[in-house]
């Protein structure tokens, strides 16, 4: 319903109800201000590409921008790109096999202005109580990027620092 408020007045490439449902799935736990930002950014993305209307792809790009910041112009070496890719793949693979891990929504290795060299976005489950096993699955998925670095490269980088912050 909140998306219907913020989508009002935006020329969409489809029915507002369809956009609202899709965007709600992309933005779990977002505040009203975050949702307003995504709707505005989606319109800006469409205007930049000189589109006649705002598409789902425009909103997906807007969501990436709101979640991770602008795409960065950082130039990473092939080795750094490989480390980031393996790190993010570690999260994704662990999440696939761990029953109680939050479902993965998206993984990217595009550097962002927020400082992130890549990130994994999850669809958090709406639960109020967790068992020890459920908590451990979330911790394992969070640390799987670091584990992947150690397995594939024999050492870990500072890229895992945000993962430690999330589990402590």
Which of 71, 79, 88, 126 is catalytic? The answer is 88
Contact assessment for residue 149 and residue 90, using Cβ atoms and an 8 Å cutoff: yes
Mention every residue, 6+ apart, whose C-beta is less than 8 A from residue 149.
83, 86, 87, 90, 155, 156, 157, 159, 160
Q: Which of 121, 103, 102, 104 is nearest to 112 (CA)?
A: 121
Helix (H) / strand (E) element for 92: namely: helix 78-97
> Is residue 88 annotated as part of the catalytic site, yes or no?
yes
Beta-carbon contacts of 156 under 8 Å, excluding residues fewer than 6 positions away, are 146, 149, 150
- Residue that is written with structure tokens 């489809």 in the block: 14
Q: Please give the helix or strand (H or E) that residue 104 lies within, else none.
A: strand 104-108
Distance between CA atoms of 154 and 32, rounded to whole angstroms?
43
**How would you class 140 by CB atoms within 10 Å of its CB: exposed for 0-12, middle for 13-18, buried for 19 or more?**
middle
Catalytic residue numbers read 88
């Amino acid at each position: 319903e909140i998306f219907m408020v913020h989508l009002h007045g935006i020329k969409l490439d489809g029915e507002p109800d369809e956009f609202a449902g899709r965007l709600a799935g992309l933005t779990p736990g977002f505040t009203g201000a975050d949702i307003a930002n995504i709707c505005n950014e989606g319109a800006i993305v469409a205007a930049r590409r000189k589109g006649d209307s705002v598409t789902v792809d425009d909103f997906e790009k807007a969501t990436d921008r709101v979640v991770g910041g602008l795409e960065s112009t950082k130039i990473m070496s092939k080795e750094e790109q490989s480390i980031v890719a393996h790190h993010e793949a570690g999260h994704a693979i662990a999440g696939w096999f761990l029953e109680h891990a939050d479902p993965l929504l998206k993984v990217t290795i595009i550097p962002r202005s927020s400082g992130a060299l890549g990130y994994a976005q999850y669809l958090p489950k709406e639960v109020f109580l967790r068992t020890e096993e459920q908590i451990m699955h979330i911790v394992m998925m969070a640390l799987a990027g670091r584990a992947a670095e150690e397995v594939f490269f024999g050492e870990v980088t500072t890229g895992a620092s945000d993962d430690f912050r999330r589990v402590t």
